[in-house]
Structure 1
């Protein structure tokens, strides 16, 4: 897996006022925003500062004790997201309500607390809602609840580290000459015929898929290239460097973009590290159950993957929704 520094090396061209100004002008022109050139000059330094701040947080998280890693990672994450929003909205943030996290969780944990069963709840205003709407065009998410176990199962990289929470929750999309292929056993997992599976993919992912069934394989063609950031059950495994399809079709997070999944988990861990001192300290000292390896693996994955996903969105997916 790439180290944090490797991911932020890709951002180096943005650490220039002239380069960032031209990039933001391109973004604002693409959004048909008036006075794109003027606004790009106004925002080039705030854009750079968000990226620099994010890099500092993530680099410190990589060398910090585990006890404070969730806090540093989450704040680095929010800085990257604010940089993303500046490429869409030159006036961000237009109100203080947009500065809230947009998510809430139970501050005081119950006895016999189980991290994987803990839930977060989305709110009407805040950074989460703003990102969901402006980057992924997802509206009306207020009041939705997600458990940590449900969210973690939708991160394919967890599977690569042999962590049992994501084992057998994804299947690789293998490249073929004009698309990709899946083993025909996917139809058993989804409990669908090949024609129904094709309709399902097309309806859920908003792409047109053409499926051909051959002995032991499903050959799939699509009208668009696969992207790293999308409201889709197809997610990119950074460790194995391949796209994978989620098998959790009944999950509430099945179509949730992976960036939002990382945000929800990272937010909750940052709250735990800040306010649940006793439980957090006991977890690190006694390692009583599977919560500890799960959290450690997530932090390692997220610290590399979030900067990667956001860079890919800024660089190319930003202009190809």
Structure 2
């Protein structure tokens, strides 16, 4: 089969021929129908030698149809359209028992890695999923339109749901970065919270997208952003700030614009850190670095998509075009999410 692999540190991913995998006991093989690209992939490919075992098939956002079952598998049937829940854990610890495999305490110890982030990923013609519990039925949802929801929808949803107590009617939420995750985050905020949504970005095109998907206000992410947010909130600041970038300048905007007793969610992996305490963040403010989301939250996200409350702006690529899609992702010239269709 063909696959997109990261093979050499510092090099671009390559399209290669590798053996088609066979499912072992308890495993499910999918014929991939769609695979999403993510900034996390770029982050992985920026790490030094030894961070991941190479070559590695990329793609932690995956959807497909069930193609073959390993021995002992029940609960899915060949031909069923499914999405992959990528935050694989041990399945038995306290976090996993409540569906929060994204916070599995034993995954690192046991060498369990997500597809595309250590295990072979979805940027291939076929994908092995380790357990049927990591599959969620897609039903009539278009896999190309839905696949990015497994991360770019689930991660914002997880961050927003944990902040809903701060976002009643009349509150303000700031979304920093209106790209792949941010434009979905805006829609989720509009769908499940009572907040006025202010979107920030450095790109006029992405600010236009933010307005199209429901942001009440869209502002340039520059030196004037904090003053504008303070003015729009009567000097109080935003009850919640969701930073989908995570670099030094965006974290400073988050710190300076959050209200007392508010919450900052650092979702983006831009590499910066935010000091917190009495002489940094406002009194009572909390800072959180959420990771992915739970399986039940993925079911919720797909439900929002099925109802029409959220959608993903996508650009479609073939497997052969995947390296070019990664270049555009790195350059920031994609509108929404890149989806590869084998």
Same fold (TM over 0.5): no
Q: Which has the higher helix share?
A: 1
TM-score, normalization: structure 2? 0.30
TM-score, normalization: structure 1? 0.32
Q: Which has the higher strand share?
A: 2
